[in-house]
Structure 1
Amino acid sequence: MNALDGLTVVDLSHAIAGPTCTNMLVELGATVIKVEPPGTGDGFRHYTEHGGEAMLSIPFASINAGKRSIALDLKTPAGIELLWRLLERADLLVENFRPGVLARLGLDFDALHARNPRLILVSITGFGQTGPLADRGAYDHIAQAMSGIALMNTGPDGPQKIGMPIIDSFTGYLATIGFLAALRRRDASGLGEHVDVAMLDAALKLVNTTVSVHSYTGRTPGGTGNRGFRLVATSEFYPTAQGWIALGANNQQQVEALLHVLGHPELIDDPRFRSHDARVAHYPAVRAWLTETLSTWRAADLEARLAEARVPVAMLREVGEIAQHPHVLERGTLHPVALPGWDRPLDVVGPGFATETRPTSTVPTLGSDTDAILAELGLDEAAILALRRSGVVG
C-alpha cells in the first residue's frame, strides 16, 4: 500500500514548483488530475525541445509523469463548473497563480470550503499571500537574488545564480510537507485548510543557519563562493592534475587522515593544522598548501584513497556520470517512463527516499485523460462531444 492511495489531487499549477509538489504526491500514490488550457497546456510543455504533436519537453516530462491531464478552459462558465465537479470530490487543490487570481475565478478558500469542507488548498507563489511583496511575480533566480543566496555564491565574475532551479524544486517539496501536515490535521478535525507556500520563505529555509547567525551576531558567516559556511580550506573544491575534487575534512580526525593520505603526517603538529580555529586563522596558507599538493594527484585516485581513510570526499562529476553510477543504479533512484512522441523511454528520479512508492509509467499528453475524467463525472458521449465542439475542453 502506498501512503497516499485513494487521495485525489486537482493540479492547477504550471512550470516547476507546483508540479514538483504534485509529482511527489503521485510517487506516494495519489491520483493527480492536471488541469491545463486547451491547445497550449502548461507552458513548460514547450520548454526547449518537444516531441512533435505531443508537446512534451523533457523538463516537463520529468515532473509530470504519472499524472492525468484534462484540457479545460477556465475562462468559460462551463469550464469552471466542470472544475467545481472535480473539486467536490478532491482532497487537495494545488495552484500557483498570483494572489487574487483564484478569487477572481470564484475559487477562494471560503468558497472552496463551503462546497467541500475537507478540501485542502495549497497556494504556491513567489512571496506568499500576505506582505507588501505579495503581488510581485518571481522566478527561481529572483528568489535566489532576494534571499541572499546569489551574493553567497559570488565568484570572479560577480554573483552567480545556482545553475538549476533549486528554489523552485525546494518550494515544491515544502508544499508537499505542508499538505501532509494539513492532511494529518484533517484526520483529526475533518476540515481542510489553506497552506500558503512562498518561494522566498523556501529560499530562506535553505540558508536558515546563515540567517540565524546573522540575526544574533550581525555578521554573514562563511564568506562567499567556494569558502562556504565553515571557513576551512580542508573542506572545499580543488583542481587536481586530472579533474576536480571536493574535500570534506571538517573535524580533527578527518584532517589528520587527510594529511596521512597526502603523505604529510608531520603537519598534524603544525600550528596551522592543529585545530579548527587554527585552520580558520591560517586559511590562506592552508589553502595555498593544499592547492599545490593536490595538483600532483588525479581526482579519481584521491577519491579512492580518502574514502578508504573515512574522509568525506567526491570527484566533481557531470550529471550524466552520476546517473549511471553503480551506486545509483543499485538503489533504483531512477526509473523509466514511457514518453509519447519520443523514440525511447525517459529516466526520471523517484521521490528521493527509500520507501514503498508507485513508480510512474507514462507522461500525459495534453488532454489525454479528458474524456475518461468527464465520464467519471457522469457525462455521456454526447455531452462530452458538445463540450469539445464548444472549445470548453480539448
Structure 2
Amino acid sequence: MNRPLDGFTVVAVEQAVAAPLATRNLADLGARVIKVERVDGGDFARAYDHTVHGTGAHFVWLNRGKESIAVDLKTPEGRDVVRRLVAKADVFLQNLAPGAAERLGLGDLTAERPELVAVNLSGFGAGGPMEQRKAYDMLIQAEAGVIAITGTPESPAKTGIPTADIAAGMYCSQAVLAALLRRCRTGAGATIEVSMLEATVEWMGYALYTRMYAGTQPARMGLSHSAIAPYDAFPTRDGQVLIGVQNDAGWRALVTAVLDAPELTEDPRFATNVARVRNRAECDAAVAARTSRWSTSELDARLAAAGVPAAQLKEIDQVIDHPQLRARDRWRQVGTEHARINALLPPVTFADVEAHMGDVPALGQHTRALLDEVGVDADDLISRGIAAQAT
C-alpha cells in the first residue's frame, strides 16, 4: 500500500524546530521533502550540539527522511534554484525572518502557481507591534502565558520540551494536509500563515477561559492541579508515585481498594472533588500517610489493579526502554552522516502501511542530484560557492 503522501513534494526553506517538525511529519507520511539550507553551516540546529555521533540531537529528531540542498539564497542563482524546485512542488514552506521571503522573491508564489500550497510560519504573524521580534520557544512561552502557569508557586518555569515550536509545527502540518485535501477536490492551492504565538495561546484554552470567566488565573501548582484533588506525587518506601484522581468514584476506589482506608469515604472534607480541592492539604496528607507503606512497584501495581489513574515518574533512560514502547515495537533505525541511530516511529499508526523512516541528511547531501534535476549546472554553482555538496 502507498503511504498517504506518496507523490507529493514539499520544498522547505526552514531551520530550528517548528518548521522542520512540520515537514518531518509530512515526510513520515510519505511526502518527498527537499530541505533548502545555507551553504555556510546549513540549518543552525545542526550545531546546537554534537550529541548524536557528531550531529545535533534536535536535528536528527526533526529532519529524517529529507533531502538536503545547500544553496546561497543571497545570490540570484541560488534563488533561481529554489524557484525551479518550487515550480515542481506541491507545497512550499518557510520560516525565515519576517519579510525575508519577500526580499528574496519567495513571498507570493501562489500568484504564479495558484495550485501551490504556500505556508509562512513565523513567531508573531504578519502585522502587529511584535511582527519583527525574535521568537524563540522560551520567549513565546512567556508571551503566551505558559510560564505564568508552569512551575511551583515560588518559581515559574518553562516546559522541558519546546512547547511553542511543537504547537506551531503540528498546526502547520495539519494545515498543509487540509489544504492538499481541498486541492484534491477543487484544484485550488492555498496561502497559509501559522504564528507560534497564536498556536501556543490556543493550547492555553482552559487557563484563558478560567481567567476570562472566573476572574482568576490558574496558579502554578507544580505537579498538582488547580481543579482536581488528589492530583500529585505521593511518597512510597523507595520513591514516589503520581496519582491523579479525576472524580469521586476514583476517590472511593483509591481509599478502599488501594489505601485500605474506607473510613475516608465518609469524611465530609473529602466526599466530593470540590471538598477535596477546598481541603487539599489535608487530603494530600491523608493519602501520603498511607502510600508510604508500599514500595513504588507495589503501590503502582495496586493502583493499576484498582483502575486508579497513576504513573511512575520515569527518568529518560527508563522511557527509552519503556516496556510499552518495547512491547509495541516502536523503535526503528535510521541513518545519519556518521552512524545509524535509533528513532521512534511517529505516533500515528496506519494499519496497512508503516511510516517512512528515512535517513537524516548531511548538509548538501543531495545538492548535485537536485541541481541536475532542475537543469542547473551543478559543477558551476558548486565551484563558485553558490551551492555546496556533502563530501
Give the TM-score normalised by structure 2: 0.93
User: In structure 2, how many angstroms separate the alpha carbons of the residues matched to 1:185 and 1:323?
Assistant: 39
> What is the match of residue 42 of structure 2?
41
> What is the match of residue 245 of structure 1?
241
Is 1:84 the counterpart of 2:73 in the alignment?
no
Q: Is the 8 A contact 2:84 2:374 kept in 1?
A: yes
- Alignment match of 2:380 (pick from 378, 381, 386): 386
Please say which of residues 185-194 and 307-316 is displaced more in the overlay. 185-194
Q: Is the 8 A contact 1:222 1:231 kept in 2?
A: no
Q: Is the 8 A contact 1:242 1:298 kept in 2?
A: yes
SS state of the match for residue 154, structure 1? coil
Letter matched to residue 47 of structure 1: Y
SS state of the match for residue 60, structure 1? helix
Letter matched to residue 27 of structure 2: V
User: In structure 2, how many angstroms separate the alpha carbons of the residues matched to 1:185 and 1:125?
Assistant: 24
User: In structure 1, how many angstroms separate the alpha carbons of the residues matched to 2:337 and 2:52?
Assistant: 8
Is 1:258 the counterpart of 2:257 in the alignment?
no
> What is the match of residue 201 of structure 1?
198
> What is the match of residue 349 of structure 2?
354
Q: CA deviation at 1:156?
A: 5.9
Q: CA deviation at 1:307?
A: 0.7
> What is the match of residue 175 of structure 1?
172
Letter matched to residue 81 of structure 1: D
Q: Is the 8 A contact 1:336 1:361 kept in 2?
A: no
User: In structure 1, how many angstroms separate the alpha carbons of the residues matched to 2:185 and 2:128?
Assistant: 30
Please say which of residues 23-32 and 234-243 is displaced more in the overlay. 234-243
Q: CA deviation at 1:279?
A: 0.8
RMSD across aligned C-alpha pairs, in angstroms? 1.8
Q: CA deviation at 1:389?
A: 0.6
User: In structure 1, how many angstroms separate the alpha carbons of the residues matched to 2:215 and 2:182?
Assistant: 38
Q: Is the 8 A contact 2:98 2:122 kept in 1?
A: yes
Please say which of residues 182-191 and 19-28 is displaced more in the overlay. 182-191
SS state of the match for residue 159, structure 1? coil
Is 1:270 the counterpart of 2:270 in the alignment?
no
SS state of the match for residue 81, structure 1? helix
Q: CA deviation at 1:235?
A: 1.8
> What is the match of residue 134 of structure 1?
131
> What is the match of residue 14 of structure 1?
15
User: In structure 2, how many angstroms separate the alpha carbons of the residues matched to 1:12 and 1:334?
Assistant: 29
Is 1:225 the counterpart of 2:219 in the alignment?
no
Q: Is the 8 A contact 2:232 2:244 kept in 1?
A: yes
User: In structure 2, how many angstroms separate the alpha carbons of the residues matched to 1:239 and 1:372?
Assistant: 59
Give the TM-score normalised by structure 1: 0.93
After superposition, what is the alpha-carbon deviation per residue over 1:116-155, rounded to whole angstroms, capped at 9, x for unaligned? 2211111111111232222211111111111111121132
Please say which of residues 177-186 and 12-21 is displaced more in the overlay. 177-186
Letter matched to residue 344 of structure 2: V
Is 1:94 the counterpart of 2:130 in the alignment?
no
Is 1:236 the counterpart of 2:232 in the alignment?
yes
> What is the match of residue 211 of structure 1?
208
Letter matched to residue 178 of structure 1: A
Q: CA deviation at 1:59?
A: 2.0
Unaligned runs of 5+ in 2: none
> What is the match of residue 368 of structure 2?
371
SS state of the match for residue 58, structure 2? helix
Unaligned runs of 5+ in 1: none
After superposition, what is the alpha-carbon deviation per residue over 1:55-113, rounded to whole angstroms, capped at 9, x for unaligned? 6222211110110000111010001111110011111111111221111011112xx01
Compared with structure 1, are the counterparts of its residues 152 and 50 closer, same or farther at alpha carbon in structure 2 (3 Å cutoff)?
closer
> What is the match of residue 70 of structure 1?
69
Q: Is the 8 A contact 1:213 1:219 kept in 2?
A: yes
Q: Is the 8 A contact 1:335 1:359 kept in 2?
A: no
User: In structure 1, how many angstroms separate the alpha carbons of the residues matched to 2:278 and 2:62?
Assistant: 45
